[in-house]
């Protein structure tokens, strides 16, 4: 009698497993594929456009995220050595994005053009403490030779993601 009861179950088992096949294949493809490395709103392959107004002039730049590495408990688009070199050598256009998971904020910093006073160090910082919405809104700071010259508001727009 037990054999007769098990026969319909045994015959239905392949149909039951076949019905699960699409779910299994869907889960398998999700498990096997990895997206770009991401921390907070920053992901490898992104390009951000930042802009703001300081002292009546527009400030605009784009910052690419080529990589994300751990730098002093933060995730940054460049290593500490690259950051030191870029800012210390005053390389106009050098930019870094940093996500602080403890504070849940993002900073975009870049070396600006010092104009005719090429020995001056010009650094812009767009600090975003509220990571909700589009564009992200934050505080823009302009420094010359380490001294804050002006503050304003900045916007960060994700302009490209590969």
Say if CB 135 and CB 19 are below 8 A apart.
Answer: no
Are residues 44 and 27 part of one domain?
A: no
Are residues 85 and 101 part of one domain?
A: yes
Are residues 93 and 134 part of one domain?
A: yes
Give residue 133's pLDDT. Answer: 84
Are residues 29 and 55 part of one domain?
A: no
Domain count, the chain: 2
Q: Residue 25: which domain range?
A: 1-33
Are residues 58 and 7 part of one domain?
A: no
10-residue mean pLDDT profile of the chain (162 residues): values are 50 43 36 73 95 91 95 94 94 95 96 78 94 92 93 92 66
Are residues 54 and 9 part of one domain?
A: no
Are residues 89 and 28 part of one domain?
A: no
110 half-sphere exposure, CB direction, 13 A CA radius: 21
Are residues 17 and 2 part of one domain?
A: yes
Strand pairing partners for 126?
Answer: 108, 140
Are residues 154 and 104 part of one domain?
A: yes
- Distance (Å, whole) CA 111 – CA 117: 14
**How close are the terminal C-alpha atoms of the chain, in Å?**
62
Give residue 105's pLDDT. Answer: 96
- Can you tell me which residue has the tokens 């930019």? 95
Are residues 56 and 10 part of one domain?
A: no
Give residue 21's pLDDT. Answer: 38
Residue 57 burial (CB count, 10 A) = 10
pTM for the whole structure: 0.75
Give residue 55's pLDDT. Answer: 86
């Amino acid at each position: 009698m037990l054999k007769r009861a098990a026969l319909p179950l045994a015959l239905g088992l392949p149909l039951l497993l076949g019905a699960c096949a699409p779910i299994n294949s869907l889960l398998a493809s999700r498990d096997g594929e990895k997206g770009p490395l991401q921390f907070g709103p920053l992901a490898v392959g992104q390009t951000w456009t930042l802009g703001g107004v300081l002292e009546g002039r527009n400030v605009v730049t784009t910052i690419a995220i080529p990589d994300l590495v751990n730098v002093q408990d933060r995730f940054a688009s460049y290593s500490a050595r690259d950051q030191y070199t870029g800012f210390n050598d005053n390389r106009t256009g050098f930019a870094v994005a940093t996500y602080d998971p403890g504070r849940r904020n993002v900073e975009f910093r870049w070396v600006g053009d010092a104009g005719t006073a090429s020995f001056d160090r010009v650094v812009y910082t767009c600090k975003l403490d509220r990571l909700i919405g589009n564009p992200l809104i934050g505080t823009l700071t302009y420094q010359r030779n380490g001294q804050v010259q002006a503050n304003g508001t900045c916007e960060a727009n994700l302009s490209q993601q590969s």
